[in-house]
Structures are given as structure tokens and as C-alpha cells.
Amino acid sequence: MSNFIVGLTGGIGSGKTTVANIFAAYGVTLIDADIIARDIVKPQTPALVKIVERFGNNYLGADGYLDRAKLREKVFNDSTAKQWLNNLLHPLIRSTIGKELSAAKSAYCLLIAPLLIENKLTHYVNRVLVVDVDEKTQLTRAMLRDNNSQTLIKNIMKSQLPRQERLAVADDIIDNTVALDKVHKQVEKLHQFYLNLASTK
């Protein structure tokens, strides 16, 4: 059981995955809020059954998986449906995060969540670590990685907190505009810092 949790966040394409993998190489357990959010609505799960009961079969793809984009669109325009869905999913997400934390063996854990601040997961972490790049770098890297249009990435960026508001909540910041060897150095320093914090908690 880790009782010290670092929340890792940043906008799309800021470098969360890249940074998390460097921490993982030090043996730090990673808990990914996005993976949990996908897993709890996999085919045959009680949550998916309830979603289909409420919204209908047309929110399922041909493969039986939830069409998350379609459901997102639906709740975007329907605040009652959004509330219903949040009431169903948020407690499940929180309890799954709790279970993964209890099972974790490392001195501290990283909770990776693009919407850590937006979804108020900050209540569950001891520190907030923001991976930071300027918007131009973010856009270029996200477009290159996913082969997505500028419009799509810009829309996703608009649905996330603006850079300065995210930075205002940060306890620690990794500057990811620099070359990867310099990113490794920043992670190494933070890792030692978090080990100290975790051992004195």
C-alpha cells in the first residue's frame, strides 16, 4: 500500500506518458485514470449494462464496446444525463483507484489523469505534478503523434484547463520543452524528493 500519491497531469500532448514511463523505470507504480475509466465500462460490466438500459443499444459499437465519443456528445448537450452518468461512473472510478493504491508496493504512486484538476481528483493526491509545454509545442506534438487535424487537437485543448490555470495548481512542474535527457534529470530529482516526502509522511 502506497500512502503517498503524486497526481500527474498536463494537457494533451504535453508529455504525461513520456514522463510517467521515466518514473516507472524507477519502480514507481502508475495508476492511469483514463485506463480505469475505459475498463469500468468494458463489455459485460454492470456499468455498461446500466448505460445501455438508460441510453439504448445505439451507444454500443459493432464490437460491443461503448461508443464513448457518441456518449460524450450526448451528455455534452444534456446536463441531466451528464449528472446521471457522473453519479454512476465517478464512485466506481474512485473505488478502483483506491483498490489499485492498496495493491501498490512502491514507496509512492503516480496517478496519471489528464483532467486531474478539472475532475477534482486533486482531493485524492498529496502533490500535483504538472508536465508543462507551451501551446505551440503541445499542438505540434499531439498532431504528429496521433496524425490528427489541428482543429481536433485545438478543440480538445479548449475542453481542458488553460495552461496558466493548470500551472497555478501545480506543486511541482516538469518543463518538457527541453530534450529528453534533460527531462530525465528533472524526473530523477523529483523522484528523490518524493521518496523523502513519502518516507516522512
DSSP-derived pairing of the beta strands 172-175 and 109-112: unpaired
Q: Strand (E) positions, 16-71? A: 29-32
CA separation (Å) from 130 to 110, 140, 169? 12, 19, 9
**Per DSSP, what are the bridge partners of residue 30?**
110
* Residue number with CB closer to ligand ADP (7 or 10): 10
Binders in 108-167 for ligand ADP, by CB under 6 A: 141, 145
With binding defined as CB under 6 A, does residue 14 bind ligand ADP? yes
Question: Per the structure block, which three cell numbers stand in for 44?
Answer: 459485460
Q: Which is nearer to ligand ADP, 12 or 128 (CB)?
A: 12
> Minimum distance from CB of 201 to ligand ADP (Å)?
27
Q: Could you say whether residue 7 binds ligand ADP (CB under 6 A)?
A: no
Other CB atoms closer than 10 Å to residue 79's CB: what's the count? 9
Contacts of 52 (CB under 8 A, 6+ apart): 59, 60
Q: How far is the CB of 49 from ligand ADP (least distance, A)?
A: 31
Q: Return the residue of 15, 110, 113, 132 that touches ligand ADP, per CB under 6 A.
A: 15
Q: How far is the CB of 135 from ligand ADP (least distance, A)?
A: 13
Give contact residues for ligand ADP (rule: CB under 6 A).
Answer: 10, 12-18, 141, 145, 176, 180, 183
